[in-house]
Structure 1
Amino acid sequence: MRVRQLTLTQSALAAIGLVLACSMMLGASLLWHHYGALSSSARTLARLDAFRVVLDAAYHVSAERGPTNSALGREPTEPDPVRERLRAFRTSSDAAIARIPASLAPDVAPMRAQLDGARGQVDALLARPLTQRDHDAVEKAIFSMFAVYDATHPLTNAAMDKLLAGDSALIGQALVAYMLGELRDYAGRLGSYLVISIVRGEPLAGPSQAAFDQVRGRVLELWRLTSSQTSTRAAPLVAQAHQATEELFFNQGIRLLDDTRQQLDAGRYRGTPESFTDVLVPSFQPIGQLRDRFIAAVADRFNATYRHARADFIVAAIGMALVVAVELALLFVSRRFLFRPLMLARARVVDLANGRLHQPAAPGQLRSEMRDLFQALETLRRRLIEREQLDTERLRLTARLRRQADTDGLTGVMNRGALERLVERIARTSKKDRQIGLILLDIDHFKAINDELGHIAGDAALRALAQRLQDGLREEDVIARFGGEEFAVLVLDGSAADPDMLVELAERLRRLIEAEPVLLDTGAEVAITASIGIAAASVGPEMWPELLEAADAALYRAKREGRNRVATAG
């Protein structure tokens, strides 16, 4: 059966149709990518809003303690503005809790029950005259309000988990917002401890004194941890709220707390819980404002990301439509103004080849482009030269990218994949009796460095460790970042066969690592040490798994035995 061949026109049209189909597939893929980015941004915004709502509910629950303290320390009157204020705060708390998304409902119920129980204790006391309110019962009621805020922690953690599941890069901002909420609550607790002392008419003593000092220390530590994210380097509104918090609470509020405590200790305080609370509570307001503005600034950044993603999606959709329209127009124009003249020229060439000379060689409607054919060939030659230059440049870039693929981007040393490829090559090409040594080490307590000083400090510690290893190793030794804070050193010379020399090399590296602290960009210093495990094995097909397992076991033995030490494979 003879297969019918396509004409030139049909082949060209089929090619253009294929290009059109490929363009549509590429455009659809691009649209899907932008749609994914748009959807991801929208989900992150929704989760961030849910996290904000939960923090707001916790803030209202914490703020409810202020009017509660005032009401517990005064005789009721009719009308009673303090109780009206307490009812207004409770209404605000209930409204804030009601705004929590339904997806977090399982964690809301325990907190709601704790809140209702605490309010019941407070209301039972408020129903009695001031002289009949037992001091221990007042203290218990205030502590029950503490427990209500503590009951919001599972809810806050659940909202944070959902937020970070969508975008783990938000962990820093989420923690700052969480710590600002904690700061507001702990500040309120300082006042509550003093209210208990005022009600009793006694100075702080025993557990209450220890709790007050502990909470005061937490307040100062939380402020230190959040200041770097909310001070002058933050958004203007956030920086303003930071300054207001510094002035109103950490200057005036803390001074009021300390002065009141000193007066209570000296038996000279003559105020009431209501007067003390009325003066202290306004100093807490900038803390809540700071948290709200910080979250708003984060939301603004993600709103900008969402708008950009939406704009990119729209531009991609318009671009795809334009490309398809242009290709359809090109299909029409090519068929009418290019392929038909070419087929006519073909017919004329066939006519000339067959001696049919009666037809004109070139009809009058053809333009002069055909006479430029050889010039086009010369243009093509230049284009080919340019293509060759481009190919050379591409090869150079490919080699550079290959080098980058073998290098750890943070520390500049070899990465794990490159190291394992090197080991595989050594196993194939080396003699079977050759000994290979492996020194496996990681930074002690690296997680604590990240948690306490931030990931920037952790990165600085990793770079410093890599540099010290490079300084302490010999030219024939191979260093690689094996993963996280773990590094591997491959010992390829004859010292790998001598256990004592291998231990001496590892000890030298350990001493070099702990010799001096790492200086951070902030001016702070962080000391680092490393636990080291060493092993050696003969070249063979199963050399690497055995060597790695032995060195890893030695490393963990070094950690178990106290860290900052060298352990050998047993």
Structure 2
Amino acid sequence: MTSRSAGYFGAFLQRLKFRLLRSMPCGDDHSLRRKLLIGTGIALVCTGILATSVIGSALDDYRRARQNLSGLESYRLILETANLLSAERGPSNSVLGDVGVTHGALRERLTAFRAKSDAILDQLPASAGVPRDLLAPTRAQLQKGRQEVDRVAAIPRDLRRLDDVQSVIESMFDVVDIFQSVVAWKASALTTQNPELAAPVMTGRMFGELREYGGRIASQIMAPIAVSQPLPLKNLVDSNRTRGRILQLWHLAGGRQVVGHDDRRLSADLHDVEMMFFGEGLGILDGLVAEGRKSGNYSMTADEFTVRFVKTLKPLERLRGDFLDITIERFTVLRNGALVTLAVTVTITTIILGILAGLLVAAQRFVFGPLMRAREAVIVLAEDRPTVPYPEPHHATEMRRLFDAIVILRRSLAERASLTKELKQQAETDGLTGLMNRGALDMIGERHAGNRAGENAACLILMDIDHFKAINDRYGHLEGDHVLKECVRMVRPMLRPGDIFARFGGEEFVILMSGDDLAGANALAKRIRAALEAHEFVLSDGTTLTVTASFGVAKGNLGQLAWRQLVEAADAALYRAKSDGRNCVCHSQQLHPTLVPDLPKGRDADAPARKPAAAR
């Protein structure tokens, strides 16, 4: 039961109580007793409803905690599946480079790895709830890749071509790439059901990708090693590109502040990754690359390279596993805590209801008379009259204090209403700029729903001040705040009366315009861009700055789902503007943007050409 519906129901019961009390005669003890019984009965009903609401809330917390735990366990199983599919490339590469000495042992090892991959894929529908049709493309590509491995492995080693081996390796790459749709499906489901899972889900996924790219970088130079040929330029380029991706993932997910430096297991895992993979593993790789660039005479066979390099990948696997284990342990504690809370809530509620039942009996003797005489005072409070009747002088001191408390309560309720209004305004306003904050903006975007076609159409401008971190680092955060406020002062007069101007977070601002006039929104963004570029920002010490901004513009609709899609479209356009060199305007026509690292290029026609810069 929501707080609003509970409030409505409580008000209804209150009105019903007063009507019953007024409608019944007051001349004898029997009628007054009936009033007391009715009033106390209503109190029991209200308490029961409140208890049901509290117990329901505790039960929901327990169910949500249990659901989160179950989802994380299935997510761990899916990531383990991706790891096994990736690990199958190791024995496959060894078989492809087999020189005939240990052919039987290599084939047995490959068979064992294939059995593990098949077993865990068969387990996913039941244990992780993965739809079978979602797994079908992975199974088909896995079967195709294995057939290619067997076909090329059957060719005598001296007759194997580099292109054949490379094609097989890339076919096995495709298996993991296709399976990423399953990982993305589960990650989306978990973060949708509970946003607080977003951080561990994404971090676990990045650790999984780190393991995948760690194995992939070795496979990318495996083909020339398997056939004892010099390293082609394409393999070298692919290996360097993968190394860049590994370093990027390590920068994002490998920092101790990300995984939690206070846990000894993770600290040890991070140290092992740095020493074994980044130290020993990449060192082995670099040595073979240097040999391959000179000639096709490698110091290791494909199997020897695979065995040595796979050992250096173990810390990456252990890091991912320990991170997920620790996360699951934390959510297990939350689930157990929710269960304890539920049990305590049920116990306390039962005790309270028992006490109320006992008070109903005791009230017949000890509270009956005073409560009936206080009847009118309660009615006055409920009807919000300007005066409160006080009892006659012979009433007890406790009842006088009761009426004094009613007056204090009335005053407190008025003060609380005023404070609530003030707090609501503070909660919806950015303290630095005075603009609407993101929470209030999201509320407007998600709750708006027009009744007629086109009534909820809107255009969104995302504005991001370029290199704002450099301003803070060089001149200090106070000067950075001054720049933000000065930008707001410049932009606000350029907006229409109906436009919504809000701070989206950090150095990002949002302009929400009603209607689907994308051209008008583009034009406004260009005017703001030009105005900012032409303006001199004067700091407190007299230093002048030139500040620019990048803009992403999109059109779409308002509403719970449409708002998120509109923000994503504008954000994708902003990323394009950033990658096009900043200080420009990009717009997106699509309603469902796909955010990928290499976005299509587009820029403001008024902005001068620039070399691409790093995205935010």
The Cα of 1:254 is off from its aligned counterpart by 0.9
Q: Distance in 2 between matches of 1:221 and 1:234?
A: 23
Matched, 1:112 2:139: yes
Contact 2:464 2:551 in 1 (8 A): no
Residue number in structure 2 paired with 1:241? 269
Residue number in structure 2 paired with 1:45? 69
The Cα of 1:12 is off from its aligned counterpart by 0.8
Change (3 A) 1:532 1:144: closer
Residue number in structure 2 paired with 1:374? 396
Contact 2:98 2:303 in 1 (8 A): yes
Contact 2:230 2:293 in 1 (8 A): yes
Change (3 A) 1:155 1:416: closer
Q: Aligned to 1:529, which of 539, 543, 549? A: 549
Change (3 A) 1:564 1:23: farther
Change (3 A) 1:165 1:341: closer
Residue number in structure 1 paired with 2:198? 171
Residue number in structure 2 paired with 1:292? 321
Contact 1:468 1:513 in 2 (8 A): no
The Cα of 1:75 is off from its aligned counterpart by 3.8
The Cα of 1:59 is off from its aligned counterpart by 0.5
Contact 2:270 2:319 in 1 (8 A): yes
Q: Which string of whole-angstrom CA distances, capped at 9 and with x for unpartnered residues, describes residues 239-261 of structure 1?
A: 32122111110111111111111
Q: Distance in 2 between matches of 1:146 and 1:9?
A: 82
Change (3 A) 1:317 1:194: same
Residue number in structure 2 paired with 1:366? none
Q: Distance in 2 between matches of 1:59 and 1:383?
A: 67
Q: Aligned to 1:468, which of 469, 486, 490? A: 486
Residue number in structure 2 paired with 1:321? 350
Residue number in structure 2 paired with 1:138? 165
Residue number in structure 1 paired with 2:282? 254
Residue number in structure 1 paired with 2:39? 15
Structure 2 counterpart SS, 1:124: helix
Contact 2:463 2:510 in 1 (8 A): no
Residue number in structure 1 paired with 2:422? 400
Q: Which string of whole-angstrom CA distances, capped at 9 and with x for unpartnered residues, describes residues 329-373 of structure 1?
A: 111222255549999xxxxxxxxxxxxxxxxxxxxxxxxxxx994
Structure 2 counterpart of 1:265, one-letter code:
R
The Cα of 1:110 is off from its aligned counterpart by 1.3
Of the two, which has the highest radius of gyration? 1
Structure 2 counterpart of 1:182, one-letter code:
E
Matches of residues 125-204 of structure 1 in structure 2 within 5 Å?
125-204=152-231
Change (3 A) 1:270 1:470: closer
Matched, 1:123 2:150: yes
Matches of residues 277-356 of structure 1 in structure 2 within 5 Å?
277-339=306-368
Q: Which string of whole-angstrom CA distances, capped at 9 and with x for unpartnered residues, describes residues 428-452 of structure 1?
A: xxxxxxxxxxxx9944469999xxx
Residue number in structure 2 paired with 1:271? 300
Matches of residues 515-526 of structure 1 in structure 2 within 5 Å?
none
The Cα of 1:284 is off from its aligned counterpart by 0.6
Q: Quick check: 298-307 or 188-197, which moved more?
A: 298-307
Q: Distance in 1 between matches of 2:281 and 2:250?
A: 14
Q: Distance in 2 between matches of 1:270 and 1:37?
A: 59
Structure 1 counterpart of 2:61, one-letter code:
A
Q: Distance in 1 between matches of 2:161 and 2:531?
A: 66
Contact 2:585 2:603 in 1 (8 A): yes
TM-score normalised per structure 2: 0.65
Say which structure, 1 or 2, has more relative contact order (CA 8 Å, 6+ apart).
Answer: 1
Change (3 A) 1:474 1:51: closer
Q: Distance in 2 between matches of 1:446 and 1:46?
A: 42
Kindly, what percent of the aligned residue pairs are identical? 28
Structure 2 counterpart SS, 1:143: helix
Change (3 A) 1:513 1:223: farther
Change (3 A) 1:275 1:398: closer
Residue number in structure 2 paired with 1:499? none
Q: Distance in 1 between matches of 2:525 and 2:139?
A: 61
Q: Distance in 1 between matches of 2:289 and 2:274?
A: 21
Structure 2 counterpart of 1:383, one-letter code:
A
Contact 2:97 2:226 in 1 (8 A): yes
Matches of residues 383-422 of structure 1 in structure 2 within 5 Å?
383-384=405-406, 386-387=408-409, 390-391=412-413, 393-404=415-426, 407-408=429-430, 412-414=434-436
Q: Aligned to 2:95, which of 71, 75, 100? A: 71
Q: Which string of whole-angstrom CA distances, capped at 9 and with x for unpartnered residues, describes residues 384-407 of structure 1?
A: 564355346425523422432552
Q: Distance in 2 between matches of 1:65 and 1:417?
A: 47
Change (3 A) 1:308 1:372: farther
Matches of residues 526-565 of structure 1 in structure 2 within 5 Å?
529-531=549-551, 559=586, 562-563=603-604
The Cα of 1:222 is off from its aligned counterpart by 1.5
Change (3 A) 1:280 1:322: same
Residue number in structure 2 paired with 1:56? 80
Contact 2:88 2:113 in 1 (8 A): yes
Contact 2:259 2:323 in 1 (8 A): no
Q: Quick check: 265-274 or 151-160, which moved more?
A: 265-274
Contact 2:430 2:437 in 1 (8 A): yes
Give the unaligned 5+ runs of structure 2.
1-22, 373-392, 442-458, 469-477, 514-523, 540-546, 554-569, 578-583, 588-601, 608-616
Q: Quick check: 322-331 or 191-200, which moved more?
A: 191-200
The Cα of 1:273 is off from its aligned counterpart by 1.0
Q: Distance in 1 between matches of 2:80 and 2:536?
A: 45
Residue number in structure 1 paired with 2:244? 217
Change (3 A) 1:528 1:240: farther
Change (3 A) 1:109 1:260: same
Contact 1:176 1:226 in 2 (8 A): yes
Contact 2:435 2:503 in 1 (8 A): no
Contact 1:413 1:480 in 2 (8 A): no
TM-score normalised per structure 1: 0.70
Contact 1:135 1:200 in 2 (8 A): yes
Q: Distance in 1 between matches of 2:467 and 2:196?
A: 19
The Cα of 1:15 is off from its aligned counterpart by 0.6
Q: Quick check: 186-195 or 233-242, which moved more?
A: 233-242
The Cα of 1:326 is off from its aligned counterpart by 1.0
Q: Distance in 2 between matches of 1:224 and 1:297?
A: 21
Change (3 A) 1:55 1:4: closer
Q: Distance in 2 between matches of 1:19 and 1:256?
A: 77
Structure 1 counterpart of 2:184, one-letter code:
N
Change (3 A) 1:291 1:385: same
Q: Which string of whole-angstrom CA distances, capped at 9 and with x for unpartnered residues, describes residues 270-298 of structure 1?
A: 32111111211100111111111222233
Change (3 A) 1:340 1:504: closer
Contact 2:464 2:509 in 1 (8 A): no
Residue number in structure 2 paired with 1:538? none
Structure 2 counterpart of 1:165, one-letter code:
T
Count of paired positions: 469
Structure 2 counterpart of 1:247, one-letter code:
M
Q: Distance in 1 between matches of 2:465 and 2:45?
A: 53
Structure 1 counterpart of 2:314, one-letter code:
Q
Contact 2:134 2:182 in 1 (8 A): yes
Contact 1:510 1:564 in 2 (8 A): no
What is the root-mean-square deviation in Å for CA atoms of aligned residues?
A: 4.6
Residue number in structure 2 paired with 1:82? 106
Contact 1:51 1:159 in 2 (8 A): yes
Change (3 A) 1:322 1:448: farther
The Cα of 1:464 is off from its aligned counterpart by 7.9
